[in-house]
Amino acid sequence: MQILQRGSTEFTARHQLDALPLTEMIAAHPVTPDLLGELAALARREIPGVRASERELAEFLRHDPESIFALCRGKRLLGGIAFLYLNCAGLDALLLDEFNLNEPPRQYLARPDEDAAAIYVWALVARGRGAVGLGNVAHAMRAPRYRAADYYAQPSSAEGRAFLGALGFAPLASFQPDLWWYQRPWNRLPEVLAPSLQSTTQFVKGSLADARH
């Protein structure tokens, strides 16, 4: 997973992912074709190792138009977040480390008309107050297609792990190296719901950068 957050430190660990508040300050919506080139350039500029082109993002969106969200303040693009929506076979393959997350086979991705079995956080870049818009993205992920799907991510730095911990993720025992899991609150057993909703760590201030997976 690639994470980069620069600038504002308003985004803190006061809430877990599904409890992040909505905001009118930042708009979060599926990326439109006119923003693809700018978003690709932003990712290449801000995240070391990213080489995504506008053409590659367009191909990714052809499979699922809701797989990349843009974070904007007015007309200014502040960042974006990309997801892989996995089907049941894809979730099994993820846990067993059986496919390349850089080039996920279509057979493991949920169709646009199919409920997601898992949401894999593929990449995130946010400048300034852009990260505040994650609350709006989290709200979108509570739609029926995504509601039953837990989140997964694979950080590769201490900062990335702190970021995930701040959002309620925890390491998961699996064949996939350093896989982290966020269980949706409504999927948790009643006896573990209360403690798991408690914040575990403070959001790391400054920049966050992870190597690509």
| pLDDT at site 98 | 92
> Is residue 213 assigned to a domain?
no
Secondary structure in 3-state letters for the chain = CEEEEECCCCCCCCCCHHHCCCCCCCEEEECCHHHHHHHHHHHHHHCCCCCCCHHHHHHHHHHCCCCEEEEEECCEEEEEEEEEEECHHHHHHHHCCCCCCCCCCHHHECCCCCCCCEEEEEEEEEEHHHHHHHHHHHHHCCCCCCCCCEEEECCCCHHHHHHHHHCCCEECCCCCCCCEEECCHHHCCHHHHHHHCCCCCCCCCCCCCCCCC
| pLDDT at site 152 | 96
| pLDDT at site 48 | 63
| pLDDT at site 101 | 84
> Is residue 50 assigned to a domain?
yes
| pLDDT at site 198 | 37
**Domain carrying residue 11:** 2-196
> Is residue 68 assigned to a domain?
yes
CATH of the domain at 129: 3.40.630.30
The number of distinct structural domains making up the chain is: 1
Successive 10-residue mean pLDDT values, the chain, 213 residues: 48 69 94 90 75 79 91 93 95 93 89 96 84 93 97 80 85 88 89 40 30 34
> Is residue 207 assigned to a domain?
no
| pLDDT at site 4 | 52
